[in-house]
């Protein structure tokens, strides 16, 4: 069932093979709709419970949703650059998995592949690839944001080897829609903070798990608070070693930074949309705004070129601190995009007829800080870049080596 | 004028702060907005009766107290700190400034000043058209057939009219055969349609006002564009004071958060990444405050007031926008939520930066003002 | 001899009184030259050994060089704002003291007034006011720049109460031309670093003092390295308490930040010169450069307005952390001025006929970082602003309370 | 083309780095400049004989090795790291690129390429006039009376000619009756006056070249402006590589300083004020490197090469300027001295940012390239 493609395939070979497979396997009506740019029809197909599920199952079975995973685990074993070719092929027809699957496919899968037992791989990877499970991340807490290792959600081992979890998580994207969660919890508070954490795979239907959507400043509610109250987990929910969860989490976090920047290709982006919008409103005729828009265009193209280079240089190894470089720049681009969206249409973002939805420029303006904060703040990315790329010393953390339960209370 | 604070300034500040923080804190503005209530009439009455705030900018001969620009700036600054969005800016600043200009040539303007001073009327200023916030040179709304007593019929659409859906009266800039003129229109007259707008700034309501052969009255025969330009100078100083108040509050709240929030075993404010950004925020507030009040201490109509107004318009708009953004960044996830006030300040910052025309054009006017010989170089 | 003026005088009263004095006392030829804007003639007058010295003596005796000093110490006892009026009056004719006297007048004088003995005030203040002595600052060291309290120049007390100083100082402006120096030296290395420092007034002609000009990146040589080798100081060279030098130094440093921003008046500045230059080169016709120049104009005017406000609000008390605000902004203006100077005349700054002096735009470009570094870096100013204006906590210094001689070596 | 590093790229980098760091470190550039020596002829010979660097960009049919743009970019990057200012950029990049364009129509161009490939000639490109660094549209220098064998007489003044005082030959863009043409002029011919200039960039010499009825030779009848435009694209990519090399070295040195310099009891690099600025510097270098090499991996003459060249021209110029400034800031007082190398990088940054035309115009060309339909919107 897996696509017949050598693991050494180049980007263009991978693109060609995936494209051929897609043209062969996409239902005729969907292929025609995609080729005719009738995107509403394509979306309806994916949203159709039966047809959509069948399509994602086929895509997953062919390895096209998980091109970098090893073939023996249902992937194609491709390099990052070649996998980009596959993604590019799927994107043409807009028939790939949605952003709500990002946590599962991009974070959960690779983390399970690196740290999971055979049984865990068996249980989770197939359904993930075929779109049967949605995953969320249960990392941040109200008192542990940038300082993730300061988390205080407890998982206590029972006599029978099961675990009981209590605590509160926050900023969990799509947790209210998810089947499983990637959970970090403290399993030994007598150890220093990084060393007493374990990593669990949590069935979100377990009694005691309650996800409550959080409204953001944009008015959207994509993130959640998740309350964990006497949640019982089986022994096999543990991923990696007891108290070895920090190392597992690093895998997840590196994938996260890497994955938030977009695909490795140079072409149209947000700045191009904004340039067109500015031409419509007349703002492009203002040379000062025009040059800021062009600086944004330069920055976005340079970021795309950096993503291409990162994937090309990474080969089959995981992307490292350069993921932080890209995330940081992406955040800056998002911020400037939001700021410019307002300047390009100053009155349009300020007021609109009651009852109508928020104009997209106003939404972009309000969302400008999203990436600067979510998925590790820009300050944290700068620390990572300085320490890993440049070898600078860490900031002193007076509680780093203190047993967790002896630290000062965080608020 | 020398830059000198008096005890009257201090007393006024204390009184307004007490009133606003008890009767109109940000929470209340948020609650009113959520309930669709746009105007706290009890607060408006208290302002007039207990503190006489609406009378501050009204000259004595029209029943006001003829306070200084600095007095009014102090009020706006304190209102900015709580993101007050009631009709004070529209009525007691913008409308009063327009009416002060018109009063010498139009008795009705003087009378209306008196009513405003008592807290007896709210008046919205309708100027923006055609996607431009304060560009009085391009008036499309028409006022036709002035009779001998100044009665006209107005037709056109005005955007971004602050309190436009609620004000008792509207001051409309319209084009007559003789040029642009300011006209007074009853908010409930036939031919007036007021559409409440959904706004980016949740705490300051605005409306689109459609005039279809609506009855109105021309207020004297002064060039309406010149009046609008002069009003913009004074209003820029006062809006700058509001921006200073909001920005200072943003910095205060951010500093408090950075002092109490601990990560990595210490207050986040002890990390230079946070600390230096906060220092830059404080610098912007200090500079913005200097510009706004330096301007407010100048004589109305003087070249220095114009200089100060233009510097403050550019500097304070940028300062509030930047500090509001930094506030969200330094609060992290919590600052990104609907429940936290950070976004309310960002929303206000965006509105204020546009309300009196964009800052780039303020800088062009500054060049014309300081270096008229260089302005035309190209 | 002191100008007859009440200590409560306003700025305009002070200006008027100083102006009247100047018109009466300036030699006729100099007054005429100044009124005719013949500045070369005025400069020649000041540079004339005899006439210049006589003039500065008269100016000093009238209190016009030191208007904020108490009247009993030879000043006029004016508020900061009123003193600005005096400075403004003197500036009209360009007959005030030169920048080389800044350290003595603005830093040394106030520090001696606050911490000196009657004998020290008697000995130093008069000559300072009359322009007889030039002073320099001997604070920074190669290993103690931002961390000034980490200085290691030693002053050892001898049995007879005298001191012997050994060490090296750096970044001393005009040290090679100075008569006296403000010296910080370590007098007890067993104490934590801030508590073992003393402050001395050093006669620069003492044997063992060697000043060597340091060439800066601009090619100028305004700063010096100063080597102190077995320099013997009398007991009365000590200013303030033994080991109490840090508090004395704070007085000097606050005056320094405050004094580097220019006079409290709103008007023509560097941005105006740059605008005119841009009009000449045609750069002003580029709307993007034009707006950057106008942003600089706004920033500079706003800084001037801040200086006016600081002086007005300070009254007779010393200016506090807002001196750091102004120094920081001034540094940013200087940096942008230098950057824009190059962009306004791009080829003119890149090459010029051999043998000709560096064009002023090229010099401004190269000097753009001066204020960001000299007199306390912008990073240090931000710390001060955050800690003093906003009350933020200090960065941890693991050696703060350690005896100085047990600290790790700094490089 | 795919973005793929080969072992040849790596070997070339190692070899050039070894040569430059041993034979042409920044200290030596500084010493040569102080002594007034502008051209290290031994190094030039070694480059040609041992590594064949001058032949890299010369096509095989003209005696070169026809290396890829990536090869040449690697050389430039390594030269940038030591602020090399020898004639490589002028001769082996700018002149070679002009001559490559002309060779199909002018045998003399092909012959000269062969001489350059051997290290046998240095050639300076004289284009800038009238205060514009690379604005080939406004040529004022004239070339009159071409005889049948292409002989002309040139008159005019060229500015900012890299190695102009020392090069054996000059390639001059001049206006003929038929339009702008490239002409070859002997550096020592009558009527040629070469004035060595004092330069902001102490490690890269330039001259003003005055031509007064100087003899020269037209190299074919190609439109000289179009040639200059194509040359600028390729040269922008290669100059971007030099900027990347310099910026990376600046970051490396600054990081080293921040790791070893201690203040307040710890390395200054552990303070976020320093650390985050260094992180931003590293980000600029990574992005600049991506842009420069993404461009270098594209086909000559392709739309993507033009895209990459314009992005790199804008991004890398700004990146080097900013990192050079930050380097001074983070070194504190020591970085401000003549003896420290920091200012040499800042000086080079300023020159490189201007050399091929300013970055703002590169961005306008980028708009024309990516959105030709929007370019004229105004």
> Measured in whole angstroms, how far is the alpha carbon of residue D344 from the centre of its chain?
16
Question: Closest to A288 (Cβ–Cβ): which among C291, C396, C398?
Answer: C291
- Give the integer Cα–Cα distance in Å for D201 and D198: 9
- Is the separation of the CB atoms in D212 and D321 below 8 Å? no
Instruction: Give the pair of three-digit tokens for residue D129.
Output: 């006039």
Burial tier of C25 (Cβ tally within 10 Å: 0-12, 13-18, 19+): middle
The nearest CA of chain C is from the CA of A130 a distance in Å of: 51
Half-sphere exposure of B302 (CA within 13 A, CB side): 12
pLDDT > 70 in chain B, percent: 99
Count chain B–chain D contacts defined by CB atoms under 8 A. 16
The ipTM of this complex is: 0.95
Per annotation, catalytic residue among C141, C256, C299, C343? C256
The pLDDT value given to residue B181: 96
The interface residues of chain D toward chain C in range 233-262, judged by CB-CB distance below 8 A, are: 260-262
Residue A261 has pLDDT above 80, yes or no: no
Residue A384 has pLDDT above 70, yes or no: yes
The nearest CA of chain A is from the CA of C397 a distance in Å of: 10
Which segment of C70-79, C340-349, C396-405 scores lowest on mean pLDDT?
Answer: C396-405
Count chain A–chain D contacts defined by CB atoms under 8 A. 137
Chain B neighbors of A359, CB-CB under 8 A: none
Average the pLDDT over A15-19 and give the result: 96
The nearest CA of chain D is from the CA of C402 a distance in Å of: 10
- Is the separation of the CB atoms in A378 and A372 below 8 Å? yes
For residue range B246-275, list pLDDT tens digits in order.
Answer: 999 999 999 999 999 999 889 999 999 999
Q: ∠ CA B68-B74-B76 to the nearest 5 degrees?
A: 110
The interface residues of chain A toward chain C in range 165-204, judged by CB-CB distance below 8 A, are: none
Chain C neighbors of B290, CB-CB under 8 A: 302, 305-306, 308-309
Average the pLDDT over C344-365 and give the result: 94
For residue range D11-67, list pLDDT tens digits in order.
Answer: 999 999 999 999 999 998 888 888 877 789 999 999 999 999 999 999 999 999 989
The DSSP secondary structure of A77-107, one letter per residue, reads ---HHHHHHHHHHHHHHT-S--GGGHIIIII
Domains observed in chain A:
11-97 (no CATH), 135-243 (2.40.110.10), 260-389 (1.20.140.10)
Tell which of D268, D271, D274, D278 to mutate to test the B interface (max B CBs under 10 Å): D271
Which residue of chain D comes nearest to A393, CA vs CA?
A: D270
B217 or B30, greater pLDDT? B217
**Which of B193, B111, B115, B105 lies closest to B150 in space, CA to CA?**
B105
The pLDDT value given to residue C407: 82
- Give the integer Cα–Cα distance in Å for D244 and D308: 14
Question: Closest to A396 (Cβ–Cβ): which among C286, C287, C396?
Answer: C396
Question: Closest to D279 (Cβ–Cβ): which among A275, A308, A385?
Answer: A385
β-pairing, C351-353 with D192-199?
Answer: antiparallel
> Rounded mean pLDDT of chain C?
93
Using 50, 70 and 90 to split pLDDT, how confident is the model at A259? low
Would you call D364 an interface residue with chain A, using a CB distance cutoff of 8 Å? yes
**Which of A191, A198, A196, A149 lies closest to A402 in space, CA to CA?**
A191
For residue range A269-293, list pLDDT tens digits in order.
Answer: 999 999 999 999 999 999 999 999 9
Q: Do C266 and B304 touch (CB under 8 A)?
A: yes
Average the pLDDT over C167-189 and give the result: 96
Residue B370 has pLDDT above 70, yes or no: yes
Residue A56 has pLDDT above 70, yes or no: yes
- Dihedral of CA atoms B335, B341, B343, B347 in degrees, nearest 10, equals -160
- Is the separation of the CB atoms in D350 and A254 below 8 Å? no
Residues of A annotated catalytic, as ranges: 256
Strand, coil or helix: what is D87?
A: coil
Residue C221 has pLDDT above 60, yes or no: yes
The interface residues of chain D toward chain C in range 317-336, judged by CB-CB distance below 8 A, are: 321, 325, 328-329, 332-336
The pLDDT value given to residue A319: 60
> Rounded mean pLDDT of chain B?
95
Question: Closest to C288 (Cβ–Cβ): which among A291, A396, A398?
Answer: A291
Strand, coil or helix: what is A173?
A: coil
Residue C80 has pLDDT above 50, yes or no: yes
For residue range D67-102, list pLDDT tens digits in order.
Answer: 999 999 999 999 999 999 999 999 999 999 999 999
Average the pLDDT over D224-244 and give the result: 97
The pLDDT value given to residue A411: 46
- Dihedral of CA atoms D220, D225, D227, D231 in degrees, nearest 10, equals 140
For residue range B72-108, list pLDDT tens digits in order.
Answer: 999 999 999 999 999 999 999 999 999 999 999 999 9
Chain B neighbors of D269, CB-CB under 8 A: none
Domains observed in chain D:
7-117 (1.10.540.10), 123-222 (2.40.110.10), 226-370 (1.20.140.10)
The pLDDT value given to residue C411: 46
Instruction: Give the pair of three-digit tokens for residue D214.
Output: 């100087």
- Give the integer Cα–Cα distance in Å for B133 and B361: 12
For residue range A307-319, list pLDDT tens digits in order.
Answer: 999 988 887 665 6
Task: List C-alpha distances in Å: A68 to A82, A409, C322, D189.
Answer: 9, 42, 56, 65
Tokens 């201690």 belong to residue: D262
- Give the integer Cα–Cα distance in Å for D319 and D240: 10
User: Among the residues of A196-286, which ranges form H helices?
Assistant: 245-259, 270-281
Would you call A291 an interface residue with chain C, using a CB distance cutoff of 8 Å? yes
Instruction: Give the pair of three-digit tokens for residue C186.
Output: 């370590």
The pLDDT value given to residue C256: 80
Burial tier of D100 (Cβ tally within 10 Å: 0-12, 13-18, 19+): buried
Give chains near C: 3+ CB pairs under 8 A: A, B, D
Which segment of A172-176, A394-398, B365-369 scores lowest on mean pLDDT?
Answer: A394-398
The nearest CA of chain C is from the CA of B323 a distance in Å of: 14
The pLDDT value given to residue D148: 83
Which residue of chain A comes nearest to C289, CA vs CA?
A: A288
- Give the integer Cα–Cα distance in Å for B161 and B236: 17
Residue A374 has pLDDT above 60, yes or no: yes
Instruction: Give the pair of three-digit tokens for residue A380.
Output: 């944290």
Backbone torsions φ then ψ of A165, nearest 5 degrees:
-110, 135
Residue A262 has pLDDT above 70, yes or no: no
Which segment of C80-84, C112-116, C230-234, C345-349 scores lowest on mean pLDDT?
Answer: C80-84
The pLDDT value given to residue B265: 87
In the DSSP assignment, the letter for residue B86 is S
Give chains near D: 3+ CB pairs under 8 A: A, B, C
Using 50, 70 and 90 to split pLDDT, how confident is the model at B2? confident
The pLDDT value given to residue D188: 96
Name B17's Cβ contacts closer than 8 Å, sequence gap at least 6. B78, B81
Instruction: Give the pair of three-digit tokens for residue A107.
Output: 């974070």
The pLDDT value given to residue C262: 67
Burial tier of D308 (Cβ tally within 10 Å: 0-12, 13-18, 19+): buried
- Give the integer Cα–Cα distance in Å for A410 and B20: 33
| Burial readout D319-346 (b: 16 or more C-beta within 10 A, e: otherwise) | bbbbbbbbbbbbbbbbbbbbebbbbbbb
Instruction: Give the pair of three-digit tokens for residue D132.
Output: 């514009």
Using 50, 70 and 90 to split pLDDT, how confident is the model at D378? low
**Which of A38, A45, A366 lies closest to A216 in space, CA to CA?**
A366
pLDDT > 70 in chain A, percent: 97
Instruction: Give the pair of three-digit tokens for residue C407.
Output: 């600290």
Number of neighbours of residue A37 by Cβ within 10 angstroms: 9
- Is the separation of the CB atoms in C93 and C25 below 8 Å? no
The pLDDT value given to residue C265: 85
Instruction: Give the pair of three-digit tokens for residue B241.
Output: 């004071």
Residue B63 has pLDDT above 60, yes or no: yes
Using 50, 70 and 90 to split pLDDT, how confident is the model at C260? low
Instruction: Give the pair of three-digit tokens for residue C411.
Output: 């490089």
A321 or A246, greater pLDDT? A246
Name A243's Cβ contacts closer than 8 Å, sequence gap at least 6. A187, A188, A191, A195, A196, A197, A198
For residue range B300-352, list pLDDT tens digits in order.
Answer: 999 999 999 999 999 999 999 999 999 999 999 999 899 999 999 999 999 99
In the DSSP assignment, the letter for residue A293 is H
- Is the separation of the CB atoms in D141 and D159 below 8 Å? no
- Give the integer Cα–Cα distance in Å for B281 and C382: 10
Can you list the positions of beta strands (E) in B113-220? Answer: 123-126, 142-144, 151-162, 169-176, 179-186, 192-199, 206-218
Number of neighbours of residue B177 by Cβ within 10 angstroms: 10
The pLDDT value given to residue C397: 81
In the DSSP assignment, the letter for residue C213 is E
Q: Do A396 and D270 touch (CB under 8 A)?
A: yes
Chain B neighbors of A374, CB-CB under 8 A: 333, 336
**Which of B221, B3, B242 lies closest to B104 in space, CA to CA?**
B221
Backbone torsions φ then ψ of B194, nearest 5 degrees:
-115, 115
The pLDDT value given to residue C396: 80
Q: Do B263 and A147 touch (CB under 8 A)?
A: yes
Q: Do A351 and B195 touch (CB under 8 A)?
A: no
The pLDDT value given to residue D120: 93
**Which of A338, A339, A306, A308 lies closest to A324 in space, CA to CA?**
A306
Would you call C332 an interface residue with chain D, using a CB distance cutoff of 8 Å? no
For residue range D110-153, list pLDDT tens digits in order.
Answer: 999 999 999 999 999 999 998 788 888 789 999 998 888 889 99
The pLDDT value given to residue B134: 87
Q: Residue C332 belongs to what H/E stretch?
A: helix C322-344
Instruction: Give the pair of three-digit tokens for residue B378.
Output: 């190209």
- Is the separation of the CB atoms in A337 and A274 below 8 Å? yes
Average the pLDDT over C222-231 and give the result: 95
**Angle at which helices C39-47 and C28-35 cross, to 10°:** 140
In the DSSP assignment, the letter for residue D232 is H
Per this entry, what is the length of chain B? 378
Backbone torsions φ then ψ of D175, nearest 5 degrees:
-95, 125
Per this entry, what is the length of chain A? 411
- Give the integer Cα–Cα distance in Å for B134 and D361: 32
Q: Do D160 and C351 touch (CB under 8 A)?
A: yes
Q: Residue D180 belongs to what H/E stretch?
A: strand D179-186
The pLDDT value given to residue C259: 65
**Angle at which helices B359-370 and C287-314 cross, to 10°:** 80
β-pairing, C135-138 with B142-144?
Answer: unpaired
């Amino acid at each position: 069932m897996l696509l017949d493609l050598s693991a050494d395939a180049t980007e263009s070979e991978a693109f060609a093979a995936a494209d051929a497979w897609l043209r062969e396997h996409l239902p005729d009506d969907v292929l025609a709709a995609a080729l005719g740019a009738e995107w509403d029809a394509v979306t309806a197909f994916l949203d159709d419970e039966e047809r959509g599920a069948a399509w994602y199952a086929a895509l997953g079975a062919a390895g096209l949703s998980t091109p970098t995973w090893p073939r023996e685990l249902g992937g194609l074993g491709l390099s990052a650059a070649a996998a980009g070719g596959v993604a590019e092929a799927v994107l043409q027809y807009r028939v790939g998995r949605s952003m709500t699957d990002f946590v599962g496919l991009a974070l959960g899968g690779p983390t399970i592949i690196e740290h999971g037992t055979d049984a865990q791989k068996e249980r989770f990877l197939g359904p993930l690839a075929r779109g049967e499970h949605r995953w969320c991340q249960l990392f941040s807490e109200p008192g542990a944001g940038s300082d993730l290792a300061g988390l205080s959600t407890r998982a206590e081992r029972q006599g029978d080897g099961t675990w009981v979890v209590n605590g509160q998580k926050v900023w969990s994207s799509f947790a209210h829609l998810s089947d499983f969660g990637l959970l970090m919890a403290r399993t030994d508070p007598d150890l220093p903070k990084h060393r007493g954490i374990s990593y669990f795979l949590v069935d979100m239907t377990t009694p005691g798990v309650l996800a409550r959507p959080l409204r953001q400043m944009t008015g959207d509610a994509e993130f959640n608070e998740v309350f964990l109250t006497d949640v019982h987990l089986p022994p096999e929910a543990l991923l990696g070693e007891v108290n070895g969860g920090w190392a597992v989490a690093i895998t997840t976090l590196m994938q996260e930074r890497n994955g938030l920047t977009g695909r490795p290709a140079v072409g149209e982006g947000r700045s191009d949309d904004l340039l067109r919008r500015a031409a419509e409103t007349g703002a492009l005729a203002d040379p000062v705004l025009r040059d800021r828009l062009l600086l944004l265009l330069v920055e976005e193209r340079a970021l795309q070129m950096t993503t291409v280079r990162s994937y090309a240089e990474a080969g089959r190894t995981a992307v490292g601190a350069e993921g932080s470089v890209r995330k940081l720049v992406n955040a800056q681009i998002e911020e400037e995009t939001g700021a410019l969206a307002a300047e390009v249409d100053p009155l349009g973002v300020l007021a609109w007829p009651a009852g109508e939805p928020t104009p997209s420029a106003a939404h972009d303006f309000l969302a400008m800080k999203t990436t600067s904060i979510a998925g590790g703040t820009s300050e944290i990315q700068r620390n990572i870049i300085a320490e890993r790329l440049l070898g600078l010393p860490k900031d002193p953390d007076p509680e780093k080596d203190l047993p967790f339960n002896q630290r000062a209370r965080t608020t | 004028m020398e830059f000198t604070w008096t005890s009257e300034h201090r007393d006024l500040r204390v009184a307004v702060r007490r009133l606003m923080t008890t009767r109109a804190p940000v929470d209340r503005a948020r609650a009113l907005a959520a309930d669709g209530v746009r105007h706290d009439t009890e607060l408006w009455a208290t302002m007039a009766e207990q503190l006489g705030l609406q009378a501050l900018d009204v000259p004595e001969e029209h029943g006001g107290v003829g306070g200084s620009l600095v007095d009014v700036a102090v009020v706006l600054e304190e209102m900015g700190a709580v993101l007050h969005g009631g009709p004070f800016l529209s009525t007691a600043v913008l409308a009063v400034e327009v009416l002060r200009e018109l009063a010498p040539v139009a008795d009705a303007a003087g009378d209306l000043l008196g009513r405003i001073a008592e807290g007896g009327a709210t008046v919205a200023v309708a100027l923006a058209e055609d996607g431009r916030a304060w560009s009085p040179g391009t008036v499309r709304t028409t006022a036709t057939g002035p009779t001998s007593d100044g009665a006209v019929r107005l037709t056109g659409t005005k955007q971004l009219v602050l309190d436009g859906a609620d004000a008792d009266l509207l001051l409309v800039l319209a084009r007559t055969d003789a040029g642009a003129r300011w006209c007074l229109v009853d908010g409930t007259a036939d031919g007036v349609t007021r559409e409440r707008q959904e706004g980016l700034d949740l705490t300051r309501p605005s409306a689109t006002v459609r005039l279809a052969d609506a009855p109105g009255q021309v207020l004297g025969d002064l060039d309406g564009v010149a009046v609008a330009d002069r009003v913009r100078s004074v209003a820029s100083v006062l809006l700058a004071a509001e921006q200073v108040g909001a920005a200072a509050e943003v910095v205060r709240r951010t500093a408090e958060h950075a002092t109490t929030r601990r990560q990595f075993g210490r207050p986040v404010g002890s990390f230079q990444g946070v600390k230096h950004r906060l220092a830059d925020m404080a610098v912007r507030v200090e500079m913005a405050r200097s510009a706004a009040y330096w301007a407010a201490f100048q004589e109305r109509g003087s070249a220095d007031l114009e200089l100060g107004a233009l510097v403050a318009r550019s500097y304070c708009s940028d300062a509030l926008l930047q500090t509001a953004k930094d506030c969200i960044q330094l609060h992290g996830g919590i600052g990104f939520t609907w429940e936290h006030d950070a976004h309310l300040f960002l929303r206000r910052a965006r509105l204020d930066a546009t309300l009196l025309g964009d800052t780039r054009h303020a800088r062009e006017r500054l060049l014309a003002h300081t270096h008229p010989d260089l302005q035309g170089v190209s």
